[in-house]
Structure 1
Amino acid sequence: MKYTFYLKKTLSFFLFIPFLFFSCKKECKLSPAECHVYENSGSDCTKTKEKNAPVVASLKEIIHPISGSDPTLNMEELSAIGDYIGSAYFVGLGEATHGTREFFQMKDRLFRYLVQNHGFKVMGFEATWGGALYVNQYVLQGIGTAKKTVRKMKFWTWETEEVIALVEWMRAYNLAHPDEEPLQFYGFDMQSVDEEYFWIKDYLSDLDLDLFNSIDTLLKPYVSVADYQTYPSLSETRKNKFKADLVKAKKLFENKESNLVALSSQQEYDLIHQAFVIFIQNEDILDPKFGKGRDFYMARNSEWIRNYVQPRTKVALWAHNGHVTKGDFWAEGAELYEAHAGNYKVIGFSFSKGSFQAYQPKGVGLTTNNVVEEMDCQTVNALMADVGEDNYYIIFDELESTSAAYKYFHKKNPFFMLGSVFYPDSQNTFISLVNLPEHYDILIYFKESHFAKPY
């Protein structure tokens, strides 16, 4: 059984598209929207720069320059981050796009630093819980390949060379440190139940086929409708029936706990029990009138990961800025901050120009042909470019309360970031007013973004 191999070691410890850069000013003769260039808002940028000059000057005194995002670079550059994180056991690692090479590489670099210097053992991903278990099999036991298992997570955002490099490093680390508690990889999302169904099936088919057959009649019909298009359109009667069936299936499983543990182990049982929990969470987020919300459950699943691996395990959480933030009450990060306070630290990301992978509407689809050439001069992103360093990070608690930078950041300012969809002709859509220190403890800045490389 595949879960047996997956748990064996744990139990002993507990579409590449070449990118064409268009510049409307120098090369591209099309409209700004067709060139995928960010259009300046028309603000008086000279006055803006003059106004922000004291902010830039005070920022220069406290920034921490870094030489780049390559995970193999000198770790000493990150020591101030390590000092700030201290003994925190959750660290949120954000990203200002879902497709930037520098963000992905830097999160890999941060995780390696946290593993080697602060005892972190788990990487949690904004990815399907069941799909990520295959990645963990590879990290722990070398089952499959990094590329094949990452595809099981079903998010195009992670099917990149940068994520593969992280996964392969985790596997290599475990091989090189056989006497340590191994590194592990988990997903905390619940937007799909396909793989969860197969984990349940594999476990029960070998241990209690009659129980599986009873549970299968309750789970399998739901799997066929469990998506954002189909499920919300169902009648309330059908949805209520599915809700009841999922709860009943979980209860049937729980009633056989002692027998199943005797035939396998408590840890194997607990793993599969979480698959039933994911089913119930999935139904809840697909029925938004009554559901608690995806981020609420991502926070709960992150806590489950920590408790499942080992109660004192330290976990890094890889997700978008908008999920790891502690400043939006609905976000995963806010949930974790409320529950764990100083034991949750969050690192956000920013950039000023460059390319990234994202979906475009109007039939374009997924493409690396997305460019922000110049940020609106009113944005934080533009101000950070004026500091004069290509790459650096800010620890907001290091800002002097009397400094211009402190006064600037501790109010809402225009900040550019996007998720998986990009509208080249409506780029102001991705600017929002944000009090950054309320959202992030640390902000990592790269002057130029390059698209993450699909494999």
Structure 2
Amino acid sequence: MDKVNLIEWIKNNFIHLSTNSREDSFEDLKDLPDIIGNARVIALGENSHFIKEFCELRHRIIRFLIEKCDFKIHAMEFGFSEGMEVNQWIQDHGSEERRIEDLLNHFPYPFQIRETLKWIRNYNKTSKSSVNFVGIDIPRNGGSLLPTLEILNEFFLSADPEASIFISDIYRIAKNIDGYSTAQSAFFLNQISEEDKHLLTAQINRLVYRLEALAPQHISRYGESKFKTILHLLKSIGYLDYNSHAMNRLISGKGLSGDMGVRDKFMADSVLWHLKENNSKIILVAHNAHIQKLPIQYGDFLSCLPMGQRLANELGDDYIAFGLTSIEGHTAALYPDENYNFGFRIENTKLTKPIEESIEKILDDNQLQNGILSFRDIPRGSNDPKRIRFDSEYIETSVFDAFDGMIQIPISSVSNEIIN
């Protein structure tokens, strides 16, 4: 397929958006149901975290999918255990004692994300069927075992007090590596002994094996759903432990190929877990790098087999991934730095014009700056885009294979919470 015919097809199939705000109008989204069909998981990405316009546009699409397409779960790149607490707040219509701001104060989440969660809570007050919020990630963005460990400790105190010989060691070490991100927990590993590093891993594994060994007893007493929840929570701290070591190796220049995919493995398992437990369609919000369906490569180095690849393999056409990207403006560039609050430095970085062979340039060159493009049935050839924005840089990938569609906006900006 030559470039002229590709551009003509794109122009004829590009869905122009009338607004990127949180307005109530859905007229420009009326073709979206035909694109997503009967898919059970719709992923909405972002080429960088902390971008105000991505959050605002997603808010309107999330509303549309809930109100018009019967989606009942809003999943996010957010701790599995912490998500349970947020969902409790969303379903608790009568109490104003807790604020969503208090539940999200461990990370600089944009204001617009909080507003989406508040909208879901208010929607549930009058809707005949509730929408649930769920987390899919390891605890506290990979930074701390404690949010999950507190839930596990409460369970084992009642269900299996003898397991305290494992819990006590895990607690003691976890308190010394208590942070807010994967990067921060990776730096904290340098401050504990090799003996404690190995002991933490060993005791987590022993606790997993013991829980599984006593499964019939726990299921009889607490039910299968409760047991599966506890097992998934327990596995999350094991994945976090490995993920911290993987990031530590990467920062030190000794990263192993594919190692950063362990977190994506857990996130994919979490999405499938929620899909099975709730039997409802899911709106999934995460970084483009997590939702894409092809491996993340930097040259010859395999960084990650992402969540999206695993979900596509498992669900087939029931999984659809829309990347979100922008033409110009600013983005949040992230750099690991142990001297900053969250273990990384965030720089408000001006975007350069889209580069050759990028999906952004193909759309921008043809004045297609604000809208949705489905890649279904798109003609393929040598002019296919091979790059897409990733924070302040680009990654190389077969864009038409990595995503099912792209949502492009003209200008992006970093949220005020980050700038301030």
In structure 2, the residue matched to 1:440 is 403
In structure 1, the residue matched to 2:186 is 228
d(CA) in 1 for partners of 2:211 and 2:357?
A: 56
d(CA) in 2 for partners of 1:170 and 1:203?
A: 30
In structure 1, the residue matched to 2:39 is 88
In structure 2, the residue matched to 1:27 is none
The unaligned stretches of length 5 or more in structure 1 are: 1-50, 423-429
In structure 2, the residue matched to 1:280 is 238
- Asked if residue 145 in structure 1 is aligned to residue 105 in structure 2, the reply is no
Equivalent residues in 2 for 1:310-325 (5 A)?
Answer: 310=278, 312-325=279-292
Equivalent residues in 2 for 1:299-314 (5 A)?
Answer: 299-308=268-277, 310=278, 312-314=279-281
In structure 1, the residue matched to 2:326 is 351
Equivalent residues in 2 for 1:63-102 (5 A)?
Answer: 63-102=14-53
Amino acid at match of 1:339: E
In structure 1, the residue matched to 2:307 is 332
d(CA) in 1 for partners of 2:280 and 2:118?
A: 21
Amino acid at match of 1:167: L
- Contact 1:296/1:331 (CA < 8 Å) preserved in 2? yes
For the residue of structure 2 that corresponds to 1:437, the secondary structure is helix
In structure 1, the residue matched to 2:229 is 271
For the residue of structure 2 that corresponds to 1:112, the secondary structure is helix
Aligned sequence identity (%): 16
Compute the displacement of 1:186 (Å). 2.1
Q: Which has the larger radius of gyration?
A: 1
1:208–1:184 CA distance, 2 compared to 1 (3 A): same
In structure 1, the residue matched to 2:180 is none
**Which of 237, 259, 262 lines up with 1:293 in the alignment?**
262
For the residue of structure 2 that corresponds to 1:356, the secondary structure is strand
Equivalent residues in 2 for 1:113-192 (5 A)?
Answer: 113-142=64-93, 144-151=98-105, 154-156=106-108, 159-177=109-127, 179-190=128-139, 191=142, 192=144
In structure 2, the residue matched to 1:44 is none
Amino acid at match of 1:201: N
1:242-269 deviations in Å (ceiling 9; x for gaps): 3331122234445565666676555444
d(CA) in 2 for partners of 1:176 and 1:409?
A: 49
TM-score by length of 1: 0.74
1:168–1:366 CA distance, 2 compared to 1 (3 A): farther
1:172–1:313 CA distance, 2 compared to 1 (3 A): same
For the residue of structure 1 that corresponds to 2:171, the secondary structure is helix
- Contact 1:131/1:187 (CA < 8 Å) preserved in 2? no
- Contact 2:51/2:415 (CA < 8 Å) preserved in 1? yes
- Contact 2:3/2:383 (CA < 8 Å) preserved in 1? no
d(CA) in 1 for partners of 2:135 and 2:395?
A: 31
Compute the displacement of 1:204 (Å). 4.3
- Contact 2:292/2:402 (CA < 8 Å) preserved in 1? yes
1:275-299 deviations in Å (ceiling 9; x for gaps): 2111222223234469662212211
In structure 2, the residue matched to 1:8 is none
Q: Which moved more, 1:128-137 or 1:435-444?
A: 128-137
Compute the displacement of 1:273 (Å). 2.9
d(CA) in 1 for partners of 2:218 and 2:411?
A: 53
d(CA) in 2 for partners of 1:433 and 1:256?
A: 47
Q: How many residues align?
A: 381
- Asked if residue 110 in structure 1 is aligned to residue 85 in structure 2, the reply is no
Amino acid at match of 1:380: I
d(CA) in 1 for partners of 2:352 and 2:245?
A: 40
- Contact 1:92/1:346 (CA < 8 Å) preserved in 2? yes
In structure 1, the residue matched to 2:10 is 59
TM-score by length of 2: 0.79
Equivalent residues in 2 for 1:23-42 (5 A)?
Answer: none
- Contact 2:336/2:345 (CA < 8 Å) preserved in 1? no
d(CA) in 2 for partners of 1:54 and 1:261?
A: 59
In structure 1, the residue matched to 2:348 is 369
For the residue of structure 2 that corresponds to 1:431, the secondary structure is strand
The alignment's C-alpha RMSD in Å is 3.2
